[in-house]
Structure 1
Amino acid sequence: MTNKTVVVTGIGAITPLAATAPETWEALLAGKSGITRIEDPRYAELELPVEFAGQARRFLTDQLTRPETKRLDPSSQLSLVAAREAWADAGIDDESVVPERLIVDWATGIGGVNTLLDAWDTLREKGPRRVMPMTVPMLMANGPAAAIEMEFGARGGARTYLSACASSTESLAEAYRHVASGDADIVITGGAEAALHPLPLAAFAAMQALSRRNDSPETASRPYDVTRDGFVLGDGAAALILESKEHAEARGAKIYAEVAGAGITSDAFHITAPDPEGSAAARAVLQALEHAGAAREDVVHVNAHATSTPVGDIAEYHAMRRVFGDHLDQIVVSATKASTGHLLGGAGAIEAAFTVLALHNRVAPPTINLTEQDPEIVMDVATAPRELPQGDLLAVSNSFGFGGHNAVVAFRTA
């Protein structure tokens, strides 16, 4: 590993809050909620216990060609939109790109579930002759990475990471390593999820994992609040362009932040429940700080995984207290799923983007819907935009997923 300095030069996003990364960031800082009632009549007909979600697909209008709307699963559609925005934001001259040194590291937690379930309905109702020939390419979990790879002509590899809700933070960690090692000049990284469908919603509800605040969807996601009752399912995508600092400076690119380090661990504890002591999650944070050459006292901001589940929020708090000790009291914590809902495999990517933008703009975004903080969670959680100090700053973004997957990325001001 040559240990090149890795930087973020482009950001793209399509989220329940807005159609682009700048609009999403603006809405986040304004304390808006992207959670809305589901209007699809199938949900009412099935009498599902949850009637709301974070619906980014409503912003896809006019962003895709007709063939893309017909031949790509929604997870690939969202991915392509976010990647295009990030690429344009990075200002990369296509003619200067060496395809063999351009890599795609992408993620999803579930993949093309809408395509799979819709195809099953078609088969059952209309017979095998009506099943689309593109069904398998559309439902493949690597479909989003393949769509991005072909869009930008990446020939250095197009990888897909599936680690539940830690997926896109793992993809970012691997992208960091690909650039740091000198294997790539540029990596398009991030993740997407489009799991909003009656069956996944019913399945998560059956696990008692989802909030059931049907009377007030916009306040349903409430991380760290004493009345939190589950997460809110969301779809969306976010993309980041990573380059070596040398490569970015040579082309005169703007630099948002440095990717300083990454850590990946696993709990080996339970398929859905986190380790309540948070020991492996804590090790992931410590790994990221070690790679960054930083002390735990250097961290000023954490974008928490904080899904708004009673058990998960406490477990993450224990992990953070284990890592930072008394210094945790000096860290500004943001729990942005309160605004976006939980994008599952895409969550880490959008939250990494939020962390980068927090450092770049020196402001930590607010955690909405926190009206009474759980007394067992003793942290400084920002409930309004919070100014971050001047100087060289370090922040971390946490992601933890079903299966005991833990992934953390550390960022430094550029």
Structure 2
Amino acid sequence: MQSNKVLITGIGIISSLGEGLEAHWNAFSSTDTKPQLETTEFAPYVVHKLGEVDWNCQIPKRSDQRQMETWQRLGTYAAGLALEDAGIKDDENLCATMDMVVGAGGGERDISVDTQILEEGRVNENRGLMLNDKLSTELRPTLFLAQLSNLLAGNISIVHKVTGSSRTFMGEEGAGISAIETAAARIRSGQSTHALVGGSYNAEHFDMILGHELGGLLKHDGWAPVWSREGSAGGGMISGSGGVFLVLESEAHAKARGARAYAEIAEMLTSQIQRDNSDLQEVISDMLARAGSADVTISGVSGAHQATVAEKAALEAAKINYQDVTSLTGHLREAQFPLTVALAALSVWKGKALADQTDVASALATTIGASRAEGIAKLVKA
């Protein structure tokens, strides 16, 4: 069994803070940075809104842009940034042999039909019959095609010509965790030499707001720093729009083409416990212990009350210097773990922690899902 080193050689990020590595490094390094919030359109809920994006920069064909929903454009754009950053984007052979692993949601729903169903459900006692009727008469025939989770990978293949093997994981934070875990494991074992991995999320859509609120996850009383939301109204989570992709390579493959490496993924730890009958803090503490010491932890803490309390307690018990990304970006769901891994790798490469600029040679990236899935990656100098 091979045990190749797994290096991060390309990073692409787009969020409410802007696009690219320097925009995000500067935002997190400054004490003056304010979150970019939408406070009225989805009131009483807040989202971290995307700024103006020139999609032409990474998705040059308008026909490609038109057939994508926003979450797909975000992912395809971030993938282009990552390929460009790694020096692979214009190399047809490297793209054609590149594997891809994506964490994706289920697309954006037909809001008008959902609204009709919810309104009629309040007054119609035969809700099953009503629902069947609406589903058979109101939904456009192509809706379910537009919602397929693997369309993000398909669009990346079309736009950026990444045509090696492709895998898509669907489902909240766990999808992003599994995507990176799988890509890293394939490279470590020699099954892949280079891979594109990441995810994206569009928070500015009423169906996403509805889904999270039905799960009791969303904060109801405005923005606050993520570690200060205990006791606030609602579930504590504030979501954000964005996309994050990484290029992972084996050390030998990266060296052969003279690639710059941000960091090595030295450890990957994942879990998905049943939280009703398990101690989440204990599980996180055990994962942190197994990951070993590091100079800083870049946390993708969700803000959801139970998970946030457990993660904070575990980090403090371990006496680890920790910093969050979520206060400024919002929670990016499938892209949350790729985001924390990307920023942890950037910290290792620059040798400085995001917020306090202390010296860093190793970093942990954590994402503890709002309701399920736990992941920790350890990044060290390449």
Q: TM-score range by the shorter chain?
A: 0.7 to 0.9
1:386 to 340, 354, 357: 357
* Cα distance in 1 for residues equivalent to 2:95 and 2:56: 31
- Equivalent residue for 1:245? 251
Equivalent residue for 1:193?
201
Aligned to 2:324: 335
Contact 2:113-2:138 at 8 Å conserved across structures: no
Which secondary structure state, in structure 1, belongs to the residue aligned with residue 25 of structure 2? helix
Q: 1:307 to 1:318 in 2, by over 3 A?
A: same
CA distance in 2: counterparts of 1:163 and 1:82, whole angstroms: 19
User: Where does structure 2 lack aligned partners over 5 or more consecutive residues?
Assistant: 118-132
1:140: how far off? 0.7
Please say if residues 111 and 193 of structure 1, whose CA atoms lie closer than 8 Å, have aligned partners that are also in contact: no
Which residue identity lines up with residue 175 of structure 1 in the other structure?
A: A
- State yes or no: 1:258 paired with 2:259: no
Decide whether aligned partners of structure 1 residues 56 and 149 sit closer, same or farther in structure 2, where only a CA change above 3 A counts: same
Work out the CA distance in 2 between the residues paired with 1:190 and 1:353.
Answer: 10
Aligned to 2:7: 7
Give percent identity, aligned residues only: 20
- Deviation, structure 1 residue 208: 4.2
TM-score of the pair, normalised by structure 1: 0.78
Q: Distance in 2 between matches of 1:239 and 1:344?
A: 14
Which of 107, 111, 122 is matched with 1:112 structurally? 107
Residue 213 (1) aligns with residue 221 (2):
yes
Give CA-to-partner distance per residue, 1:108-158, whole Å, 9 cap, x none.
2x33124x4467679999x9699364x333211111122223334344321
1:268 CA drift (Å): 1.7
Q: Specify the alignment match of 1:280 in structure 2.
A: 283
1:122-133, aligned counterparts within 5 Å? Answer: 131=140, 133=142
SS at match of 1:357: helix
Change (3 A) 1:312 1:21: same
- The question of 1:351 aligning with 2:360 is answered no
1:34 is aligned to 35
Counterparts of 2:56 and 2:279, CA distance in 1: 45
1:312 and 2:307 matched: yes
Q: Please give the secondary structure, in 2, of the residue aligned with 1:113.
A: coil
CA 211–404 in structure 1, closer or farther in 2 if over 3 Å, else same: closer
Paired residue for 2:353?
364
- Look up the equivalent residue of 1:103 and give its one-letter code: D
Partner of residue 86, structure 1: 82
Which of 354, 363, 373 aligns to 1:395? It is: 363
Distance 1:141 1:402 in 2: 20
CA deviation after TM superposition for structure 1 residue 350, in Å: 1.2
Contact kept, 8 Å, 1:234 with 1:340, in 2: the verdict is yes
Structure-2 residue corresponding to 1:72: 68
Cα 1:2–1:69, aligned 2, differ >3 Å: closer, same or farther?
Answer: same
Q: Which amino acid aligns with 1:28?
A: F
Q: Is the 8 A contact 1:111 1:139 kept in 2?
A: yes
**Aligned with 2:50 (options 50, 53, 56):** 56
Any unmatched runs of 5+ in structure 1? 290-295, 367-384
- Retained in 2: the 8 A contact 1:17–1:34? yes
Shift of 1:189: 0.5
Is 1:302 the equivalent of 2:294? no
Q: 1:252 to 1:150 in 2, by over 3 A?
A: same
C-alpha distance in 1 between matches for 2:346 and 2:72: 25
Q: CA offsets per residue over residues 21-61 of structure 1, 9 Å max, x none? A: 32122212224233312565xx4xxxx422x2112264355
Paired with 2:139 and 2:111, the residues of 1 have a C-alpha distance of 14
Query: Is 2:103 the partner of 1:97?
Result: no
Q: CA RMSD in A?
A: 2.9
Cα 1:122–1:201 change in 2 (3 A) is closer
Number of residue pairs matched?
A: 360
User: 1:370 aligns to what?
Assistant: none
Q: Deviations over 1:226-255 (max 9, x none)?
A: 665512111111011000111111111111
Shift of 1:412: 0.6
Cα contact 1:267–1:281 (8 A) shared by 2: no
**Aligned-partner residue type, residue 79 of structure 1:** G
Matched residue of 1:364: which SS?
A: coil
Instruction: Tell me how far apart the structure 2 counterparts of residues 149 and 30 of structure 1 sit (CA, whole Å).
Output: 36
1:119 to 1:353, Cα distance in 2 relative to 1, 3 A: farther
Q: CA deviation at 1:172?
A: 1.1
How many angstroms apart in 2 are the aligned matches of 1:200 and 1:362?
37
Q: When the two structures are superposed, what TM-score results if normalisation uses the length of structure 2? A: 0.84
In structure 2, C-alpha distance between the alignment counterparts of 1:59 and 1:29, rounded to whole Å: 23
